[in-house]
Amino acid sequence: MIKILIVEDEEPISNLIRMNLTKAGYQCRCAFDGKEAADLMMVNPYDLILLDIMLPKVNGYELLDYAKSLDTPVIFITAMGTVENKVKGLKNGADDYITKPFEIVELLARVETVLRRYNKAEQTIQILDIEVDVPSRVVMQNGEQITLTLKEFELLLLFIRNKNIALYRDTIYENVWESEYMGESRTVDLHVQRLKKKLHWEDKIVAVYKVGYRLEA
Amino acid sequence: MKFFWKIFFAFTALITIVFSVFGIWLITQTFQNSLEKEIEKGNRENRMFQLAFEVNMNSLSENYKTEKIVSELAESVIANLDSDEYSYKIYGRKQNLVYQSSELTLEHALMNQLGDASCIYQVLESEGKKYLIFVCKSEIGGRTFYLESLKDITALYMERDGFYSQYRVVMLALILATGVVVFVLSHILTRSIVNLSNTTRKLAGGQYDVRTDVLGDDEIGTLALDFNFMADNLTQKMTELEEAARKQEDFTASFAHELKTPLTSIIGYADMLRTMNMNEEETMKAANYIYSQGKRLESLSYKLLELIVTKKQDYQFRQIPIKELTEQVLQISENNLQKKSIICHSEVEEGFVLGEHDLLISLLVNLIDNARKALPENGEIWIYGINKPDGYELTVRDNGCGMPKDEIDKITEAFYMVDKSRSRKEGGVGLGMTLCSRIIEVHHAEWYITSKEGEGTTIWVIFPGQEVAHEKENN
């Protein structure tokens, strides 16, 4: 199981991240100041560290250096969304950043991406009756390969990573098409319909009234 | 052209002109004097010649006055005169030569110009030589003679030219010598200016710590002093501005942080509520977080509003009775204090403070609230109010956790919190002391803070007396 250390001094935010990552199947540990985080890192190896920059006792940047010396990937969380701050974090060796306030979907996506980069994420995902090989983009169902387009595959991945979470149409659009949602819901609906048909998941991907869709697993 | 060269050339030119004019005038004057003396002497000689000639001619009887005898007579007269510097000539009435002592003959028209004058002279040039020539007329027994005396004065002119050429050499040496002196002098004079100019350039180039050397107490020295003064002031202003900009930046950054932290929780938990199937416990937890973080945003916005209000408004100060004010504040704070079973002692003398009622309430509420946050259950707060000769002193003391000495200076910085997690639990946003500091500033009051870890904190606020307050208000 993948172990993630959450270093955040604000208890509500720390809990928020922990609850969501736990639901997504990660094992989480919370540290509320820099010193506590360093102590934990020394004892246990972690697969990923989510790090707030403004921390009591030990500064986030110092902690970043320490994490880098242990070869642990780091995503830093910052309230200061200036380019300068992001660049400073990335230059110091952070793998990615999340600016407060963030959405759950974004948090999960960034965590997943960084883990995959370090080959720590599961290469194959088994869910319901399908098996997904993420790097080679192959989807197998009952020993048969299902042919999916690029967008359909990404849509499937989004549903799998956010299983049991209602995904809003704009969230789906922004994550799969990577541009701002302008209200043209047909694109999302069409792709979801095709995906459902190809996988015979008519009862698995359910429409949520006035919201979007949810994968029930 | 550089000022240095301007001084140099101006002085050199001036000295050259002055010396040339003076030298030429001196030499010319000397020469003129000698010439005049020569003329006087010549005149006298000519006179003597005339007199001797006339006396001798008169003693001669009329019959012997032939040209030959006249010529012999003239010769003997000239021999008696004993002045071999001169050569003499005697002409007859029709300007016919009667006698000459030497062969030297010069063309001139003096005999025609003579008229009624007794004696006239002229300077003549011939074959590169200068001659002084005198002519006078003698009427002896109805006969007219022109007597001419001639002197070679080339030596006089040569002497003048000699002076000139000597003086030229002297002048050249003089100009060279003064040139060197002026060069050194202008270098000394312009050195401080060059110094100042270099410093100015450095300052303009961004080296704000450079200062020029003050050389002497002349105008340039004063200028250098003024320049240094200006640079000092400028640097100070700049540091202040930088400091203000840094504070502003810090404020913005802290503000963004303080705003985004509760927002992150609110948005995050709300997102969970709307997208996930959560059990009752989780739903409750999320809702609680949204509520508490929303409350935090609320208190942040109230405090910010208060802070903005203190910055903007022009206040009408009135005499505020402090005892009544304190009682009012204690009523407001009572509820919060009771929650932690805090005992509040108040010994406030009757007295007045010139100020704004609502701001003073806000100040006291914040001070008591800060004390409350530092206190454990069953803690104690003391409030003292004492009339002092120079104003009114209000003290708030608690026996709470206190703070380290180096934190005291920082507590008025916006969003600064000594113990973040404890302050958060008590609902602090880190603006209370900033607000207090503003209110104290508005009232021209002063405050002092002492604190010891584990023993408590004491804050004195000293409001100025009426006259002082009025004076400061008018300023």
Per-residue pLDDT tens digits for B187-205: 888 888 888 888 889 988 8
Q: What is the pLDDT of residues B111-159, one digit of tens each?
A: 888 777 778 888 888 888 888 888 888 887 778 888 888 888 888 899 9
Residue B474 has pLDDT above 70, yes or no: no
- Tell me the pLDDT band of B1, cut-offs 50, 70 and 90: confident
**Is B277 in contact with A164 (Cβ distance < 8 A)?**
yes
Task: Indicate the residue of B256, B276, B421 with minimum beta-carbon distance to A79.
Answer: B256
Question: Residue A56 in contact with residue A36, Cβ under 8 Å?
Answer: no
* B272 part of contact set with chain A, CB < 8 Å: yes
Cis ω before B321 (30° cut-off from 0): no
DSSP string, B324-338: HHHHHHHHHHHHHHH
* B260 part of contact set with chain A, CB < 8 Å: yes
Which residues in chain A are closer than 8 Å to B253, comparing Cβ atoms?
Answer: 80
Provide the shortest C-alpha distance from residue B213 to chain A (in Å): 42
Comparison of pLDDT for A57 and A109, the residue scoring more: A109
Q: Which of residues 22-51 of B touch A (CB under 8 A)?
A: none
Could you give the CA distance from residue B247 to residue B413 in angstroms, rounded to a whole number? 8
- Rounded to the nearest integer, the mean pLDDT of chain A is 87
pLDDT of res. B288: 93
From the list B215, B253, B182, B198, the residue with the least C-alpha distance to B415 is B253
**Is A100 in contact with B269 (Cβ distance < 8 A)?**
no
Amino acid present at B279? N
- Output phi, psi for A10, to 5 deg: -85, 115
Could you give the CA distance from residue A8 to residue A50 in angstroms, rounded to a whole number? 8
Comparison of pLDDT for B292 and B312, the residue scoring more: B292
- Tell me the pLDDT band of A49, cut-offs 50, 70 and 90: very high
**Is A168 in contact with B268 (Cβ distance < 8 A)?**
no
- Tell me the pLDDT band of A156, cut-offs 50, 70 and 90: very high
Could you give the CA distance from residue B153 to residue A21 in angstroms, rounded to a whole number? 129
* B416 part of contact set with chain A, CB < 8 Å: no
Burial label for B241, CB within 10 Å (0-12, 13-18, 19+), is exposed
Smallest CA–CA distance from A11 into chain B, residue: B421
Summarize the confidence of residues B8-34 as an average pLDDT. 91
- Tell me the pLDDT band of A17, cut-offs 50, 70 and 90: very high
Preferred mutation among B252, B254, B255, B261 to probe A, highest tally of A CBs within 10 A:
B261
Provide the shortest C-alpha distance from residue B342 to chain A (in Å): 27
Which of B73-77, B219-223, B303-307, B460-464 has the highest average model confidence (pLDDT)?
B460-464
Question: Residue B346 in contact with residue B383, Cβ under 8 Å?
Answer: yes
Q: What is the pLDDT of residues A64-90, one digit of tens each?
A: 888 888 889 999 888 876 778 788 888
- Tell me the pLDDT band of A4, cut-offs 50, 70 and 90: very high
* A100 part of contact set with chain B, CB < 8 Å: yes
By mean pLDDT, which of A158-162, A202-206, B114-118, B457-461 is the weakest?
B114-118
Question: How many residues are recorded in chain A?
Answer: 217
Could you give the CA distance from residue A17 to residue A22 in angstroms, rounded to a whole number? 8
Residue B370 has pLDDT above 70, yes or no: yes
Could you give the CA distance from residue B447 to residue B431 in angstroms, rounded to a whole number? 17
- Rounded to the nearest integer, the mean pLDDT of chain B is 86
Whether the ipTM is more than 0.90: the answer is no
Summarize the confidence of residues A46-68 as an average pLDDT. 87
- Tell me the pLDDT band of B470, cut-offs 50, 70 and 90: low
Residue B252 has pLDDT above 80, yes or no: yes
- Tell me the pLDDT band of A134, cut-offs 50, 70 and 90: confident
What is the crossing angle of helices A104-117 and A11-23, to 10°? Answer: 60
**Is B421 in contact with A100 (Cβ distance < 8 A)?**
no
pLDDT of res. A34: 87
* A76 part of contact set with chain B, CB < 8 Å: no
Residue B467 has pLDDT above 70, yes or no: no
Task: Identify the three-state secondary structure at position A46.
Answer: coil
**Is B276 in contact with A166 (Cβ distance < 8 A)?**
yes
Q: Which of residues 141-170 of A touch B (CB under 8 A)?
A: 164-168
Question: Residue B138 in contact with residue B144, Cβ under 8 Å?
Answer: yes
**Is A15 in contact with B289 (Cβ distance < 8 A)?**
yes
Going from the C-alpha of A120 to that of each of A2, A22, A111, A147, B227, the distances in angstroms are 8, 17, 11, 26, 66
Task: Indicate the residue of B262, B271, B292 with minimum beta-carbon distance to A103.
Answer: B271
Which residue reads 């793998």 in tokens? A95
Residue A62 has pLDDT above 80, yes or no: yes
**Residues above pLDDT 90, as percent of chain A:** 24
Could you give the CA distance from residue B262 to residue B258 in angstroms, rounded to a whole number? 7
pLDDT of res. B468: 64
**Is A16 in contact with B292 (Cβ distance < 8 A)?**
no
pLDDT of res. A184: 66
**Is B421 in contact with A165 (Cβ distance < 8 A)?**
no
Smallest CA–CA distance from B291 into chain A, residue: A12
